[in-house]
Amino acid sequence: MSTTFGERLLGVFEASGHLCVGIDPHPYLLQQWDLPDSGKGLREFGLRCVEAALGQVGILKPQVAFFERHGSAGYEALESTLASARGAGLMVIADAKRGDLGTSVEAYAQAWLTPGAPLEADAMTVSAFQGVGSLTAPMLLAREYGKGLFVLAATSNPESHATQTAIVGSGENSTRTVAASIVAEVNMSNEAPLGSFGVVIGATVRLADFGLTDGDLATTPILAPGFGFQGAAFDSLRATYGGAAANTVVSSSRGILEAGPDGIRGAIAAQVAELARAFAQ
């Protein structure tokens, strides 16, 4: 049997820790890095991030939106970035937040998870506004190819609270919050020690607000954005995720990228050390 995404993720945690560098080529960062706001600039930005990550972290997370701004030229830049990262043995989570039904969402999964596809990544973020059941095809595809998914569940922004804490009125997860029902449905396909189907839970949320406990996340990979620029400090990891902190992919973007092309290696090293201290506490 081939290795599952969950098994590979555990290996990365052990070998390289939990830090994930977000590749977010904001227009203001391109300017700060003295790069043009174009496909060419995006490619250069992406490749320099990969280079700076090598030997320091095991996971990268490109934010697809910033590449999509430049259409096909942006996607070419992303393809180069993905190929460079994966060629060097780094794990890549495509932060695409795709969601749809049936053959459409299957096409998105084919785009990002099929071995040999131009945009092949190791995992992608997806949205279950149309139900976790709408993600059956991506889950089957991920399992087949040893890939992972991270389903949006509880995000940090206050305006998401009303939807994500709304109470489900029918079906198996009746009386649970939308976020908790997503976690429950995703976990149906996960096995100990760590499954391949993760969730996105922002670093500044309180699990209890969504009717969740860390026990609900015992076998669930967690993509945890919101550190640094968005307000959370690494030493809040255990307070936020409890025992499930061990399952977190800790994503940091602007706090690293704003160090600029000359400072990025050092900024990553500093965050790796800081995160290791937070885990050792």
* Contact with its own copies (CB under 8 A) among 75, 86, 255, 279: 75
Which one, 165 or 236, has the nearer CB to its own copies?
165
* Contact with its own copies (CB under 8 A) among 10, 65, 218, 270: 65
End-to-end Cα spacing for the chain = 37
- Told to judge if 97 belongs to the known catalytic residues of this protein, a careful annotator would answer yes
Cα gap 6→223, rounded to integer Å: 13
Cα gap 262→119, rounded to integer Å: 28
Cα gap 14→236, rounded to integer Å: 21
Stretch 219-248 residues interacting with its own copies (CB under 8 A): none
Does residue 72 bind its own copies (CB under 8 A)?
Answer: yes
CB 235 within 8 A of CB 278: yes
* Contact with its own copies (CB under 8 A) among 43, 48, 70, 265: 70
Does residue 26 bind its own copies (CB under 8 A)?
Answer: yes
Which one, 207 or 272, has the nearer CB to its own copies?
207
Beta-carbon count within 10 A of 109 CB: 23
Stretch 90-109 residues interacting with its own copies (CB under 8 A): 95, 97-105, 107-108
Q: How far is the CB of 10 from its own copies (least distance, A)?
A: 28
Instruction: Kindly give the pairing relationship between strand 248-252 and strand 59-62.
Output: unpaired
CB 182 within 8 A of CB 149: no
How many alpha carbons fall within 13 Å on the CB side of residue 43? 12
Phi and psi at residue 189, to the nearest 5°: -105, 10
Give start and end residues of each alpha helix (H) in the chain.
5-16, 27-32, 39-53, 64-68, 71-87, 102-113, 136-145, 161-164, 178-187, 237-241, 254-257, 260-280
Does residue 274 bind its own copies (CB under 8 A)?
Answer: no
Stretch 44-63 residues interacting with its own copies (CB under 8 A): 63
Which one, 94 or 245, has the nearer CB to its own copies?
94
Q: How far is the CB of 68 from its own copies (least distance, A)?
A: 4
Does residue 139 bind its own copies (CB under 8 A)?
Answer: no
Q: How far is the CB of 79 from its own copies (least distance, A)?
A: 6
In the complex, which residues of this chain contact its own copies (CB under 8 A)?
24, 26, 63, 65-66, 68-76, 78-79, 95, 97-105, 107-108, 110-111, 117-119, 127-134, 152, 155, 157-171, 173, 177-178, 181
Residues designated catalytic: 97
